[in-house]
Structures are given as C-alpha cells and as structure tokens.
Amino acid sequence: MTKLPASVALIVDQPDRDLAGMTLCAAELASRGIRTCLVSASDRAREIWALRPDLVLLFNLRRMQEPLVRLMMTAGIAVGLLDTEGGVWPDAQSYAELLFDDASLLRRIRPLCAWSPLLSRYLTEKGIFVEDQFRLTGCPRFDFYRQPWRATAEGKRQGLRHILINTSFPEWNPRFGTHREVMREFLTVHRWAEERIQARIDGQREGMAAMIDIAQRLTNDFPSVPVVVRPHPFEKGDSYRDAFRGLPRVEVNDKGSVQPKMFHALASIQRGSTTAIEAGLAGVPALSPRWAPVSEEVPSSEDVSVQLAAYDDLKQCVAAIVDGTYVVPDNVTRGLAAVIDEWFFRVDGDSYRRVADAVQAHVPASRQVDESACRKLLYGLPTAGGSWARRAPRWIRHKLRLTPDWSFRRFRAASSPAWTRTDQFFDVGRVQEILRGLAAVGPEGFSRVRAVPARESGAYADNYLGYGVVIETPLPSSL
C-alpha cells in the first residue's frame, strides 16, 4: 500500500491580505511532497475535523482560539503558528496580553513562525514560550515586495499614479459584525476594562473622521491626482463610500491585496498601520498626519514615516512628491532598516521557504491523529448542546454514517454556509490564479503543483461538503 503524504492545513485569516502569501507557502510545501489545504478562518473547526491533518498552522493564539487548540491537541493534531499580525504592535506587552491563559497549552505550540526577533526575545524572557519553539521566518505576504514575486503582485497600472490613504479603524468600523460586538469581545474574552475599550473605540472614531477629512481636502487641493482610500482588511468599505459620495476622484478600494495600489502610489498616508512599512518596502514615501487621533501609538509605524504636524505640512509634502522634488529624509531610511530588523526579521523574498522548513520539521514522523475523535467533533457530538430535538439529527447522521451535511428536510446532502457569500470566502479559481503567477516566475517545482477543491481531491472524511482548497503535487501514475 502506498503511504499517504503528510498533510497540513494552513488557516487563511483574511483572503485579500493573506491568501497570496499562504498560497506561496502551500506551493512550497506541496513541491516537497506535503499535501496542504488552504482553509478559511471562518469555517476552520469543521474543516479541520473533516481534513484531519497532521499539523494545523494557525493565524494567531488569541484567547478565542484556545478551546479549538485544546480539542485539536486532544485529537492528536499538531498545532503551529504563522501570525498574520505579528509585526506591528505598540509594544511587546500589547501582543502578549492577548495570548491564551493556559501557559502549558502555549508551550505545546510548534513551530512558532515569528516575524520579530524583538517579540520572540520578550516572549521567551517572560517565560511565555521557550526558545526552541521559535523559528524566525518573517512573513510570506511581504515576500511579494521582492523579486521574483513582486512581478506577480504589481498588476497593471491604469491611469495616473495616486495618493494612497490607508485606514486602520477595525473596532469602530468593523467589516464583520458591529463595533458593539467588538467591544463585547474585548470585555468578555480579553477582559479589558470598559474605560480602556471605550477609549480605544473613541480614538478610532475620531481618527476615522480625521482621515476622511484629509482625503476630502487632498482631492480639492490636488484635483489632477486621484486619491485611493484603502480600509484595513477588517474595516467596512461602505462607510467610506458614503462619506465620499459626490467626490469622483476618491476611490474606496477594499477588494484584493493592497500591494498593487501600493506599488503604483505616489505617497502612502497612514497612522499606526503596517502599510507604513510596506510603503517603505515598495519605495513609496510614507506620511503620518500626527494630528489624526489613534487608539494607540505604534512607534514602529511612525519611525518609518515622515511625521507631519498639520494639514498644511502634509499639503506641502504631497506637492513636493507630485512635482518630483521630494527627498526621503535620512532618519526615515534608517528607521525602516531598524524596524525591519527588529519587527520583521528579513524581507528578502524567502520567508515562505523558512516557514515551509519550520512546518516540515514539525510534521509528526508517524500518524498521530485520532480519527474517531475527529469524526465525533465533525458531527458536533462532544459539544452538542440544546434540546434533544436539536441533538438527535447529529447522532443519527453519525450512527448511520451519513455525511455531516445531510439534510433530513431535503433528504440529501446540502451545504451552503452563509460565510461563502462574505468577503472572507475564497475558492479554487482564486488560488489557481495565484498559482499560475507563482509558477511563471518561481522554482521549477512550482510548475508541477496544482490546486483542486478539497471535496474533489479525497481530502475530506465522511463526504464532507467543505470549501477548502488542496494544493499538492500529483503522485506519478505508476504509484
């Protein structure tokens, strides 16, 4: 009997931001013979129980993930981390306070693919993790700021270069849910004081108003230069569209990656955002309007930006950029080098390889997964709550070996979760498009890698009708 390849699940938090980098990692793993499935964070639990991978690479270790991680480990699934928010924080403590309460559970996470030497040292010195858990990798989504991957991300420039305004107010203007729900999460899960939560929300509300005002004034002062407003991936774009109604020179861009817009920008305006560093990597001036409030100051973001005290200073700076006389200050150039070294490890186009190395080294040598436990979890049995009328269909499906998606009302398998109609959903076509770009410029092994729906690849147990995308190198037909 042919031994099945090791399997890994990579959880994609926000496709617009994270899908390309995770696809790059998956392609590298697949070229090494490791079957890899890209899974949306929105449906990660059921996907994991149906896939039953040897290792799951999560996108954060915040407290809401703790119950799921405990269940995965109990079921024999190894758990690692590739943090999608691991590089820009006010300080290391701000990151640490959001982690699991269970220290013993944190110590079992391997590998920890880390962006930041500074953050890794802090978490080790505090005894939260131990040194051998960490692998300094950098973050694969920043690989696209270096060739050959940059060629796949730039896209075609259409029309004039623009001023890019990157906003970051996801708690006040959430894309998924309401700001009251966000406040409730900080209160109940992270146990913040109400005054602290309210101060954060108020700062974001005022900051959003200030950035809208900046966009409106710039489009009036530079009528020949388009303004593109790029909300944070977890912000609602329609709030900005409402604000800019009647201003045709302002575009709200909340689809796809920020990188094409960054590469073709004249300047990037932000406060407290990772995009300040991304602007520096793209060779675009980063400008920080200091009068715009933020919920928390982020020194690393400010260190790589030209800090401007008032709108007239911003206007003067933009004018110099537009007419070609602007020169990046030396302190900003030095700041970018220092921030990358402390918070990003390396931005050299090879983070995806280092992540693949770390994952490959921690995939169990032999199969450890408890198939029976995963099956019960897939059918919702251990956590089945509510009345017997609600629990009975789960037990019947499990006992009769029906698919967990079986509908007794329709008398057939039926799966149409609402999240597939949201911006967090991605399909195989989107992954295939990314893979084609990677194969055109990447190593030879990428040309043999393919993406297929998980439900068509045989990756799911119990005929689950999921939406994961498997990336694999097909075995030779002779095997």
Asked if 108 and 132 count as a contact pair (C-beta separation under 8 A), the reply is no
Chain segment 139-192, per-residue pLDDT in tens: 999 999 999 999 999 877 767 899 999 999 988 888 877 777 877 778 787 788
Chain segment 259-290, per-residue pLDDT in tens: 999 999 999 999 988 899 999 999 999 999 99
In angstroms and rounded to an integer, the radius of gyration of the C-alpha atoms of the chain is 23
Quickly name the fold that domain 7-141+349-387+417-472 has.
Rossmann fold (3.40.50)
Asked if the model's pLDDT at residue 206 lies above 90, the reply is yes
166: Cβ–Cβ under 8 A, 6 or more apart, which residues?
230, 232, 258, 268, 269, 270, 273, 275
In whole angstroms, give the CA distance from residue 326 to residue 314: 12
Q: Per the omega criterion (within 30 degrees of 0), is the bond before 404 cis?
A: no
Q: What sections of 224-344 are H helices per DSSP?
A: 237-243, 259-263, 275-282, 299-303, 311-323, 330-339
pTM of the model: 0.90
> Matching CATH topology for 7-141+349-387+417-472 and 156-334?
yes
Quickly name the fold that domain 156-334 has.
Rossmann fold (3.40.50)
In whole angstroms, give the CA distance from residue 356 to residue 363: 11
pLDDT at position 132: 93
Q: Which residues pair with 134 in a beta bridge?
A: 112
Q: Read off φ and ψ for residue 270, nearest 5 degrees.
A: -160, 170
Token pair 């194969």 in the structure block, residue: 439
Tell which wins on pLDDT, 478 or 383.
Answer: 383
Structure tokens at 332: 């900003």
Question: How far are the Cα atoms of 9, 38, 264, 463 from residue 29, in angstroms, in the given order?
Answer: 11, 12, 31, 25
The confidence band for 476, taking pLDDT boundaries of 50, 70 and 90, is low
Cα torsion angle, 97, 102, 107, 113, sign: negative
Chain segment 110-121, per-residue pLDDT in tens: 999 998 899 999
In whole angstroms, give the CA distance from residue 330 to residue 342: 19
In whole angstroms, give the CA distance from residue 244 to residue 9: 40
Q: Which of 221, 216, 214, 208 is CA-nearest to residue 248?
A: 216
The confidence band for 1, taking pLDDT boundaries of 50, 70 and 90, is very low
In whole angstroms, give the CA distance from residue 176 to residue 232: 12
* Domain layout of the chain by residue ranges: 7-141+349-387+417-472, 156-334
Average model confidence (pLDDT) across the chain? 90
The confidence band for 384, taking pLDDT boundaries of 50, 70 and 90, is low
Chain centroid, CA 403 distance in Å: 31
Chain segment 455-468, per-residue pLDDT in tens: 999 999 988 989 99
In whole angstroms, give the CA distance from residue 430 to residue 265: 25
The confidence band for 347, taking pLDDT boundaries of 50, 70 and 90, is very high
Residues, the chain: 479
Asked if the model's pLDDT at residue 446 lies above 90, the reply is yes
pLDDT at position 158: 66
Asked if the model's pLDDT at residue 477 lies above 60, the reply is no
Cα torsion angle, 279, 285, 290, 292, sign: negative
Chain segment 389-404, per-residue pLDDT in tens: 677 888 888 887 888 8
